[in-house]
Structure 1
């Protein structure tokens, strides 16, 4: 289970199961290397068109997803696809919404909800999950 990303590439998070998922900021240029095979874009408005399969989760900046049920469905899909595909999660800055979504993937992967934010901060970006309500949402996230 590698997901096809280089584990040492910027933004790549290795989950405990071995799945690799890339988080990134859409405000920055696309990193060198292979393209995603599936992406989940966490934005308040529709994302730009991309040549790979992508889903849009309406998620305004510094807030929570507009639909918790849709968020759970798409996050479960991203986690499942990361078993064999290059999966990317991204928002504008690559920290708040992306970090929150990555922490939820960590919960799906077996990390305790109360430890998932620290897991992502330690292994992805120390500034991930920017607001107290995003951290609370992760702590309440259920499989």
Structure 2
């Protein structure tokens, strides 16, 4: 299993022990950082990185994903992949969309829906999940999408 090192900037350790990295694309590449094996990019326009597998989820800033069911499918895959690979989630600033995705992964890891935003703010970023509709999305989205 290849996982993120303990000192990785943006490291999130989910309640089930899986690790991922969250980051903001505007902040550039973290110095001395390990490379992901899978990157999931939550942006309005297509984004990909060279050197590793990339998945783009159409997700405008301060909004919800264009296709909520597709976003959940991708995040379920991310949850599975974090068991054996270095996975990063990223959006422009690394707070709203990335935080929303981290909160959904927290739910997939066993955090109750009503506590997922607070858990994410404690373990990832204090301002994560920026908008009321992002908070509602985390609390109400059906995670059983296949």
**TM-score w.r.t. structure 2 length?**
0.93
- If each structure's helix is expressed as a fraction of its own residues, which one has the higher value? 2
The aligned residue for residue 123 of structure 1 is 123
Using the alignment, how far apart are the partners of 2:133 and 2:18 within structure 1?
Answer: 27
Using the alignment, how far apart are the partners of 2:6 and 2:90 within structure 1?
Answer: 17
**TM-score w.r.t. structure 1 length?**
0.95
Using the alignment, how far apart are the partners of 1:9 and 1:33 within structure 2?
Answer: 7
Gaps of 5+ in 1: none
The aligned residue for residue 86 of structure 2 is 86
Using the alignment, how far apart are the partners of 1:70 and 1:56 within structure 2?
Answer: 11
The aligned residue for residue 62 of structure 2 is 62
Checking the alignment, whether the CA contact within 8 Å between 1:37 and 1:52 is kept in structure 2 is: yes
Please state if 1:42 is matched with 2:42.
yes
The aligned residue for residue 52 of structure 1 is 52
TM-align CA RMSD: 1.2
1:10 Cα offset (Å): 1.5
Checking the alignment, whether the CA contact within 8 Å between 2:43 and 2:58 is kept in structure 1 is: yes
The count of residues paired between Structure 1 and Structure 2 equals 142
1:50 Cα offset (Å): 2.2
For residues 118-143 of structure 1, the C-alpha deviation after alignment (integer angstroms, 9 at most, x for no partner) is 11100110010100000000001233
For residues 8-45 of structure 1, the C-alpha deviation after alignment (integer angstroms, 9 at most, x for no partner) is 32200000111001000001121122100001100000
